[in-house]
Amino acid sequence: MDFFDAFLNPEIIATYLRPMVRAVWVTIWISVLVVISGLALGALLAGLRAYQKRWLSWPIVLFADLMRALPPLVLMLILFFGLPSIGIILNDWFVLYLILTLVLAAFVEEIFWATMTSLPRGQWEAGAATGLSFLQVLVHVIFPQALRMNIPPLVNRSLTISKMTAYGSVIGVKEIVSVAGSAQAFSGSATPLTMAALAYLIIFFPAMLLSRYIEDRFHYEH
């Protein structure tokens, strides 16, 4: 059949299975790194903002606004094509990792900050009254609550940004889309593109179901 021949040709699937699997690993690997460092950086920024020092909050707010308002693809191109002209050459995968981390951190910072300002002031006071330092209250009292209340949005945002690893294809990172793209050009068949879509389904469909489950479970009762 015409359709299957174009989109699900078994011979082509067999030929490109191995490079595709390798590309899947690249995608997963970069996604995991992005999620870990994005969450950590976002939490750190929210923590710094809690000190309510103008010279600290101001740049953080600016950073969060920029990273949320600019398309990541634009940022990646600026970094990838612009930096070499001032003598800085970054790996393609590092540009992808860096931009996605910064974008995720910006969203995480905003999510945390909104919660931190909404927790009753008594939570801060109860900590202070028992002799905990500001940092200790932040780490042991405020952050765990912010994390718990925000598991659904944090999971959703992490998944959305993980899927943006597909943008790596634009700057030549050997992830799923880029490997599928060159395989398509090479084989003259659309099958590698179907494989790419299926690869994402295999990775992210369970993640979507998981996030649905989490949303139901952690729906914050208050």
Partner 1 sequence: MENFIDAFFNIDIMRQATPLLLKGAWVTLQLCAVVIFLGLFGGLGLALLASSKSALLRLPSFLFIDIFRAIPPLILLILIYAGLPFVGVRVPPFVAVCIAFLLNNSAYFAEIFRSGIKAIPKGQMEAARATGLSPAQAQAWVILPQAVRNVLPDLLSNVVEIVKLTSIASVVSLSELLYSANMARAVTYNSSPLVMAAGLYLLLLWPLVRVISRFQRGLSISH
Partner 2 sequence: MTAAQPLPTLEITALEKRFGETQVLRSIDLKVQNGELVFVIGPSGSGKSTMLRCCNRLEEPTSGAIHVNGKPMLGIPRKELDRMRLQVGMVFQGFFLYPHLSALKNVTLAQRKALGRSKAEAEARALEMLDKVGLKHKADAMPSELSGGQQQRVAIARALALDPKVMLFDEPTSALDPELVGSVLKVMRDLRELGMTMIVVSHEMHFAREAADRVVFMDGGVIVEEGPPEEIFGNPKSDRLKAFLSRVSGEAA
157-162-163-165 Cα dihedral, nearest 10 degrees = 140
Q: Which amino acid is at 86?
A: I
When asked if residue 86 is in the footprint of partner 1 (CB under 8 A), the reply is yes
**Contact with partner 2 (CB under 8 A): which of 33, 98, 114, 128?**
128
- Least distance (Å) between residue 124 CB and partner 2: 9
Residue 141 contacts which entry, partner 1, partner 2, none (Cβ below 5-8 A, type-dependent): partner 2
**Contact with partner 2 (CB under 8 A): which of 9, 15, 37, 123?**
123
When asked if residue 129 is in the footprint of partner 2 (CB under 8 A), the reply is yes
* Binding piece for partner 1, criterion CB under 8 A, among 11-19, 42-50, 64-72, 123-131: 64-72
- Window 99-138: residues binding partner 1 (CB under 8 A): 110, 114-115, 117-118
- For residues 203 and 30, the answer to whether their CB atoms sit within 8 Å is no
Token pair for 208: 């979507």
- For residues 87 and 18, the answer to whether their CB atoms sit within 8 Å is no
Q: How far is CA 88 from CA 76, 82, 85, 94, 105, in A?
A: 14, 9, 7, 12, 23
Q: Which of 173, 182, 177 is nearest to 96 (CA)?
A: 173
* Closer residue to partner 1 in complex, CB, 87/122: 87
Which residues sit at the interface with partner 2, rule CB under 8 A? 120, 122-123, 125-134, 136, 140-141, 144-145, 148
